[in-house]
Structure 1
């Protein structure tokens, strides 16, 4: 892959940012009273946020890898 160094660095920074920012958000969601109903079962609030965080972290990891590969190549 032929990508200018500044753009590869932006991809690396963006991917790292996603991997740093989302886990604390997920911890807050899991502690939120709206994440479980009165019987202790997961709510849609929890499910939606877990999917959001999972997707964002997967895309962040992919962005980080693409940036690193572009920087090395």
Structure 2
């Protein structure tokens, strides 16, 4: 059971690291991302925060998986 949970944590980490940076590049190119003066809009800021949190969770998942793997002995 522990191996399954470790694999799930690693899969979560890999998914987040692969998917969210690509999504951010698409959001940053969206016309709604910047106003007429070129300043970031709430659209871009909210997405950047959400993506940042997803990547932080990816790091936490990866660390948890490694700790669990090493503690198995």
The TM-score, its normalising length taken from structure 2, stands at 0.90
Contact 1:29 1:46 in 2 (8 A): yes
Superposed CA RMSD in Å reads 1.1
The TM-score, its normalising length taken from structure 1, stands at 0.90
Greater relative contact order structure (CA < 8 Å, 6+ sep)? 1
Question: Could you give the per-residue CA deviations for residues 3-49 of structure 1, whole angstroms, max 9, x where no partner exists?
Answer: 71111111111111111110000000111110000111110000000
Contact 1:9 1:71 in 2 (8 A): no
Unpaired runs of 5+ residues, structure 2, are none
1:52 aligned residue? 50
The number of aligned residues is: 71
The structure 1 segments of at least 4 consecutive aligned residues displaced by more than 2 Å after TM superposition are none
After TM superposition, give the deviation of residue 72 of structure 1 in Å.
1.8
